[in-house]
Structure 1
Amino acid sequence: MKIEVKDAPGQLVAALKPISDVGGNIMAVIHEWDPTLRPKTRIVQVVLDIPEERLDGLIAALKAAGVTILRLGEERLLLKRSVIMIGHLMHTDLSDTVSQIDRTGYAEVVEMHLTMPGIAQRSSALFTISATNRAHMDEAMKVLRAVAKKKDLLLVEPLEEVA
């Protein structure tokens, strides 16, 4: 579950308490700080185990506590792989490159770091791709390899894979 809470003392505890109150078990809490968010709010990801029949009660309790639920459900993209692409990424439509992975429906680019040393020089990007399973990751990589070949980009793979 991904939630938005007020950035004030005690708000995280207040947001997590309803989970235990309805019989849920908190497995992990990831607190994100993003300066582009609305002022005075924080995004928190909570990995939890809760019986399906108690979910409606949890949602009601969180809303009553003033917690905004941004996403709720099972994690869909379980496998991650990092790769590097090198070449004229901006001149070959970087947005199109990312979109070709995202359009598969079973994989998406979840993180990207771009380095551009100069307008006429080659740039490099570190892509982190998430997919639903290993077979879908393999298909997404086939798409990325085809894009790299068509656009004359060097693809360095895989740097890291996490299941």
Structure 2
Amino acid sequence: MRMNLVLELLDVPGQLVSVLEPISGLGTNLVTVIHKRDAKNENGKIPVQITLEGEQENLNNVIKRFNDLGINIIEKDGVINKEFISTILIGHIVDKDVRDTTDRINALDGIYVIGFDIRLDGEDKSTALINLEVAYGKKQFAFDEVKKIADEKDLLMINEV
């Protein structure tokens, strides 16, 4: 059985080797590697496409090992591994530095602000709807980390249900 993965790795020496090392030890074969160094994102990470071959159980063990190592799998067999979530912040959002808030969220691994709509009400508290793109499986992590930022800035956070 074959499986195609696109991984997101830091563009630093040794990263690719650390990813390739567990593959043979878990009973799978590496068929192809496409290392796209010219496609670096804003976090200094690059996509690396790999094709693996092996028994389904062994392929699942490789994915588990990648997750254990904190390697972000952004695509598996052509399916993008991300979720879209929304949260609302209420408070003095503008006074608490909107740019800092979005920069801190974007600095979180696998979490990106894709929409930020703010409603101002004069000098009263404002409301912001934040739409996030989150790596698959990091939904609760995203909510927890944004909550820390909101608490620090004395903002009320309301999550989607």
| TM-score normalised to structure 1 length | 0.48
| TM-score normalised to structure 2 length | 0.49
